[in-house]
Structure formats: C-alpha cells, structure tokens
Amino acid sequence: MQSRTIRIIGLDPGLRRTGWGVVDSDGVRLIYVASGVITPATGDDLAYRLRELFEGICGVVASFKPREAAVEETFVNDNPRSTLKLGQARGTVLLAPAMSGLTIAEYTPNLIKKSVVGSGHADKTQIQAMVKFLLPRATFNSADEADALAIAITHANHRASAAVLAAHEKKVARL
C-alpha cells in the first residue's frame, strides 16, 4: 500500500535571511521535520550571495527530499532597489526547487496569515504561536523559520485545490 504522506518544503525568500521549513502531510496530520535559515554573507557581491542562497536551498532539498515546494510571493516595497533585490532572491529561491523537479506553488502573505492564524493581518508573534500550536514538535529560532513553516502549512491545506486549478488551466490552454 502506497503512503499518502507528502513532504513539503516552505520557503520564505530574503536576500539577508531565507527561512526554510519541511513538514510531512498525510492530508489530515502535519508533522514537523526540520527548519532553518540560510544567511548569505552580507559583505559579498550580490551574485555570490545569490549563489550561496541557491546552493543552500539545493542542499536542504537534497537532504530532506521534499516532493513539493511552497514559496511566499513578493510584496512590493517602497524602495525600488530593495524590491528588485528581493525579486532576485525570490527568483533564486524558485529556481533551486525547480532544478530538482519539485512541484512549486506560490502564496500571498495575506493568504498564508489567514490560513495559519485566521486573519490576513496577523503579526509575527501570532504566526509563531500558531505554528508552534500546529506543529508542537517544531523547534525554530527565528521568525524566518516560523514563516517558512507557515508557508508549508498553507500549501498542505491548499495543495489539492491548487492541483485542480492547475489541471483546469492546462485543459483550457489546450482548447
């Protein structure tokens, strides 16, 4: 009999700190596997920081072997340079699991907060408290890790509807 458990990696992109969190989901239960933060050296040139980010995520994917990835969508910052750099980091974060052939879903910050806390305007402490409640064995040391776990939880809760929507879009595209 084949297991229904799916391993999901949640990724919270950032150029200074990218949080990652891995959970197993059987459709009913969520089980914490691991979490951490990739912190590229701030003194390096942008290209080398992006490479360090890419290699770090590839290493996590190779170690924990998730089948699906979920990434937070970028919000637009007031500072165009910061937004551009975040976009480059996010592109790197999307590329790493894609290179491993993972299915990738993207979620808005408001949907993540609403899915985990129940309010689209929840703050970091509320997210951390709910992640700890939903994943009692989780040990995380930063908001970046908690956010990544919240992204993975969101995907576990929305993956079936995302798959149906993707199949529908492919069908419509063929018509």
pLDDT for 11-31, tens place per residue? 999 999 999 999 999 988 999
Q: Which of 12, 24, 68, 147 is catalytic?
A: 12
- Is residue 37 domain-resident? yes
- Is residue 93 domain-resident? yes
72 in active site:
yes
> Which pair of structure tokens corresponds to residue 150?
């919240």
Count of the separate structural domains present in the chain: 1
- Is residue 123 domain-resident? yes
- Is residue 1 domain-resident? no
pLDDT for 48-87, tens place per residue? 999 999 999 999 999 999 999 999 997 667 788 888 888 8
52 in active site:
no
Write a three-state SS string for 41-71.
CCCCCHHHHHHHHHHHHHHHHHHHCCCEEEE
- Is residue 168 domain-resident? yes
Residue 175: pLDDT band with limits 50, 70, 90 = low
Could you list the residue range(s) of the whole structural domain that residue 133 is in?
6-174
Dihedral sign computed on CA atoms, order 113, 117, 121, 123? negative
Q: Note the pTM of the prediction, 2 decimals.
A: 0.88
- Is residue 79 domain-resident? yes
Residue 6 predicted with pLDDT over 80: yes
CATH number for the domain spanning 125: value is: 3.30.420.10
Q: Which of 44, 68, 78, 144 is catalytic?
A: 144
- Is residue 48 domain-resident? yes
Q: How far apart are CA 41 and CA 59, in angstroms?
A: 17
Specify whether the CB–CB gap between 132 and 96 falls below 8 A: no
44 in active site:
no
Q: Report the chain's C-alpha Rg in angstroms.
A: 16
Residue 1: pLDDT band with limits 50, 70, 90 = very low
